[in-house]
Each structure stands twice: as structure tokens, then as C-alpha cells.
Structure 1
Amino acid sequence: MADIEDLGYTSILDMGNDEAIDLLRQIRLSRRIPEKRATKTLATKSKAPVVDANLAAQLLEILGGK
């Protein structure tokens, strides 16, 4: 059965401080997951319907106007 010593890596305890810190920094950076940001969607403005004179007269009649 394989053991940790069989992997051939030196332990962090056996390294110097600068070397150990550099190794840990590399491990941290390699495991960094990029943040997924929601993409901005452009809202399209809906076009207002064109009101002609006949439709305007009907609407005024419905609303009780003159």
C-alpha cells in the first residue's frame, strides 16, 4: 500500500518559511474558482401603439369625456 512518503514530495515542515509560504500560495491560486457574474441583459422598450383620431374619440367616449 502506498504511503505519503512514497509520493516524493517534501513536507512543508521540512521546507524553509519562504519556500513553504510560496508553495501554499501556489496551491491556493491553483484552486481559485472564478466568480460567475450574471450577464447584464438589455431591456427593450416596448413601443406604444399609435393612436389615430377615431380611436382617441372612442376612448374619450368610453371615459365620459366630450
Structure 2
Amino acid sequence: MANLEGLNHPSITEMQTDEAIELLRQIRLSRRVPVKKVRTIRKKITAPKVNSNQAAELLKILAGGS
């Protein structure tokens, strides 16, 4: 099994500050998960047509009359 010394890759503690920051930025960007927008499905519902007889009946019900 390989150890860290056998990888031939410099440690972040051995790098200059700018190099280390850039390496960490690249690692963070490479691990970023793309944001997927969730699509919402919208159904178009048409309002039922109300004729004059139905409107009169609704007004009677709302007014409290029978």
C-alpha cells in the first residue's frame, strides 16, 4: 500500500501560500456538484363557465335564501 511520501506530490505545507490557496481552490471547484433546478409541473385548469341561472342560484345561497 502506498504512503504519502511515495506519491511524489508536494505537501500543502511545503508550498508557498499562493500555491496552496490555488490548489485548495482547484480542489473545491472540482468537487462542486452542479445545482439542478427542480422542474415543477403545472397543470392549467380552466374555470367552469357559469350561466345566468347558476349565478342566480349561487347568489340565493350566499344571501341565505332558499
TM-score bracket, normalised by the shorter chain, equals 0.5 to 0.7
- Unmatched runs of 5 consecutive residues or more in structure 1: none
Shift of 1:49: 6.2
Aligned residues: 59
- Unmatched runs of 5 consecutive residues or more in structure 2: none
In the alignment, the residues of structure 1 paired with residue 23 and residue 30 of structure 2 have an alpha-carbon distance, to the nearest angstrom, of: 11
TM-score, normalized by length of structure 1? Answer: 0.63
Q: How does 1:18-29 map to 2 (within 5 A)?
A: 18-29=18-29
Identity across aligned pairs (percent)? 44
The SS at the match of 1:9 is coil
TM-score, normalized by length of structure 2? Answer: 0.63
Per-residue CA deviations over 1:1-25 (Å, capped at 9, x if unaligned) read: 3111111110000000000000000
Q: How does 1:1-66 map to 2 (within 5 A)?
A: 1-46=1-46, 48=48
In the alignment, the residues of structure 1 paired with residue 2 and residue 24 of structure 2 have an alpha-carbon distance, to the nearest angstrom, of: 24
Query: Runs of 4 or more off by more than 4 Å in structure 1?
Result: none
In the alignment, the residues of structure 2 paired with residue 44 and residue 8 of structure 1 have an alpha-carbon distance, to the nearest angstrom, of: 62
